[in-house]
């Protein structure tokens, strides 16, 4: 099968980790024997924007075409206005910017399906283009469309829903996202396919880092299930989170939880991987709580280094209350690290509370404290949850699993299209 992937989030030489989950899915599709080309539209960055703003400078630096992990990736420009002005029309503007390229690719790569990632602008462009290229369109919703965009203003909500009504199939990366639109006319076209992890990341990181974790857990086990305060004080523990530093990720809640338990675990270290708009306020919070010796801001790290940080930790905790799925949770679980997520969020598709991880209520510091205490005070329990979480991911949440389910959607779609065509030509 030949697949054209359309995603403005696809990685580039300028930002090799942006949208890496889409790249991983593409690589898995290719490993299963399918052919893929990628169009990753880039906002046009005219002067003086390309000089004055770092974001627009980075757009200008992206090449027009590249080959990433043996995949041909095209980066055509399209008109986009700053501050999301006229965002309702962004799909149409993207379609105009890439339509000539799509026709050129079509001449030598007769793709069977267009798979767009996010409804706006990519899905909007795809449903415009399908009128001329006459192939079906699949749109994947990763979270922002349903959790943010449709709540900005009514016109955006109407546009997103209009795009999805025109799409031939819709994929959501979690059951949570599917539930958010279960009353819409297009709900019957939705299939839930969770994101996955790359087994190579587990193999590459796990032996050394997991050995470190196992040593710490074994030491704690030898101290006994009910550790004395003295024993706890001399046992180093590490909690880690990985995310963009924005309010909904709940990093401030983690910091407050650490402040509450630091007396019991004076050697506790909390590593924060990521950067973003909330960093300064989070650093101020650390200073107010006198946690400078216990909270370390590592900033944005390459993916491989991030995985090492996760694998070396005793606990992964990200109390994000607006998460479409959250691939980083299953990355942590794959490394055999006990993982804490949030009830009602996308990660509930992977974590069953008390069976292979822990779930806390949204924006609830008390729950986070209780979860951390359970994992820190009961290393035997932490190990059982970690082992179960790892098995869950390896058996059900790899990129190969994701790719096979995605191919099944394509095949069903194309079979239906062929049957409809046959019916039309039968007298």
- Residue identified by tokens 């030898």 is 222
CA dist 163 and 317 (Å) reads 36
User: By the 8 A CB rule, do 365 and 256 touch?
Assistant: yes
Distances, alpha carbon 93 to alpha carbons 43, 48, 125, 216, 394, in Å: 10, 21, 8, 55, 41
Residue 2 burial (CB count, 10 A):
13
Select from 204, 170, 194, 195 the least CA-distant residue to 184: 170
Helices marked H in 33-89 — which ranges?
A: 49-52, 54-61
Q: Would you call 15 exposed, middle or buried from its count of C-beta atoms within 10 A (0-12, 13-18, 19+)?
A: middle
User: By the 8 A CB rule, do 396 and 368 touch?
Assistant: no
At 408, list the tokens.
């099944």
User: By the 8 A CB rule, do 345 and 249 touch?
Assistant: no
CA dist 10 and 47 (Å) reads 24
Name the phi and psi angles at 116, rounded to 5.
-100, 140
Provide the CA 228 distance to its chain's centre, in angstroms: 40
- Order of strands, sheet of 65-68, starting from the edge strand that comes earlier in the sequence: 65-68, 71-74, 35-39, 2-6, 113-117, 137-141, 169-172, 190-192
- The model's pLDDT over 150-166, given as tens digits with 9 standing for 90+, comes to 999 999 999 999 999 99
CA dist 251 and 318 (Å) reads 7
Coil, helix or strand at residue 270: strand
- Residue identified by tokens 């990355």 is 331
CA dist 172 and 169 (Å) reads 10
Buried b (16+ CB within 10 A) or exposed e, 45-72: beeebeeeeeebebbbebeeebebeebe
At 405, list the tokens.
């389910």
Name the phi and psi angles at 250, rounded to 5.
75, 20
Helices marked H in 274-346 — which ranges?
A: 279-288, 303-311, 327-334
CA dist 419 and 427 (Å) reads 14
Distances, alpha carbon 409 to alpha carbons 27, 115, 138, 412, in Å: 17, 11, 9, 5
Select from 369, 376, 96 the least CA-distant residue to 256: 369
CA dist 419 and 52 (Å) reads 54
CA dist 21 and 24 (Å) reads 5
pLDDT in tens, the chain (427 residues): 999 999 999 999 998 888 989 999 999 999 999 999 999 999 987 666 666 677 778 888 899 999 999 999 999 999 987 667 789 999 999 999 999 999 999 999 999 999 999 999 999 999 999 999 999 999 999 999 999 999 999 999 999 999 999 999 999 999 999 999 999 999 999 999 999 998 887 766 555 555 444 444 443 344 334 444 444 444 789 999 999 999 999 999 999 999 999 999 999 999 999 999 999 999 999 999 999 999 999 999 988 899 999 999 999 999 999 999 999 999 999 999 999 999 999 999 999 999 999 999 999 999 999 999 999 999 999 999 999 999 999 999 999 999 999 999 999 999 987 666 555 554 5
DSSP-derived pairing of the beta strands 65-68 and 71-74: antiparallel
User: By the 8 A CB rule, do 30 and 36 touch?
Assistant: yes
Residue 230: the pLDDT is: 42
User: By the 8 A CB rule, do 40 and 7 touch?
Assistant: yes
């Amino acid at each position: 099968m030949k697949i054209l992937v359309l995603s403005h989030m696809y990685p580039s030489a300028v930002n090799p980790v942006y949208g890496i989950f889409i790249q991983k899915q593409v690589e898995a599709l290719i490993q299963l024997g399918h052919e893929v080309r990628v169009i990753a539209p880039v906002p046009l960055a005219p002067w003086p924007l390309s000089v004055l703003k770092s974001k627009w400078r980075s757009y200008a630096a992206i090449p027009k075409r590249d080959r990433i992990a043996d995949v041909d990736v095209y980066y055509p420009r399209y008109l986009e206005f700053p501050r999301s002005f006229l965002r309702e029309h962004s799909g149409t503007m993207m379609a105009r910017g890439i339509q000539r390229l799509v026709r050129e690719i079509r001449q030598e790569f007769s793709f069977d399906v267009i798979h767009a990632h996010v409804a706006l602008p990519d899905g909007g462009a795809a449903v415009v283009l399908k009128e001329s290229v006459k192939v079906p369109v699949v749109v994947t919703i990763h979270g922002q469309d349903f959790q943010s965009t449709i709540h900005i203003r009514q016109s955006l909500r109407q546009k997103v829903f209009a795009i999805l009504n025109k799409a031939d199939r819709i994929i959501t990366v979690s059951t949570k996202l599917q539930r958010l639109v279960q009353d819409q006319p297009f709900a019957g076209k939705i299939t839930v396919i969770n994101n996955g992890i790359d087994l190579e990341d587990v193999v590459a990181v796990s032996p050394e880092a997991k050995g470190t974790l196992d040593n710490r857990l074994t030491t704690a086990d030898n101290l006994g299930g009910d550790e004395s305060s003295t024993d706890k004080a001399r046992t180093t523990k590490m909690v880690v989170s990985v995310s963009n530093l924005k309010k909904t990720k709940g990093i401030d809640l983690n910091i407050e939880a650490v402040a509450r338990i630091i007396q019991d675990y004076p050697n506790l270290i909390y590593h924060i991987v990521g950067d973003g708009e909330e960093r300064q306020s989070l650093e101020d919070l650390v200073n107010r709580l006198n946690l400078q010796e216990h909270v370390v801001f590592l900033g944005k790290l390459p993916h491989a280094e991030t995985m090492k940080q996760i694998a070396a930790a005793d606990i992964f905790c990200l109390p994000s209350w607006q998460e479409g799925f959250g691939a980083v949770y299953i990355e942590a679980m794959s490394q055999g690290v006990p993982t804490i997520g949030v009830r009602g969020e996308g990660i509930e598709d992977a974590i069953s509370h008390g069976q292979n991880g822990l779930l806390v209520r949204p924006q609830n510091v008390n729950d986070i404290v209780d979860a951390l205490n359970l994992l820190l005070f009961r290393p035997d329990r932490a190990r059982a949850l970690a082992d179960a979480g790892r098995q869950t991911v390896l058996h059900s949440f790899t990129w190969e699993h994701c790719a096979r389910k995605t191919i099944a959607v394509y095949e069903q779609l194309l079979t239906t299209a062929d049957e409809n065509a046959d019916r039309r030509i039968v007298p």
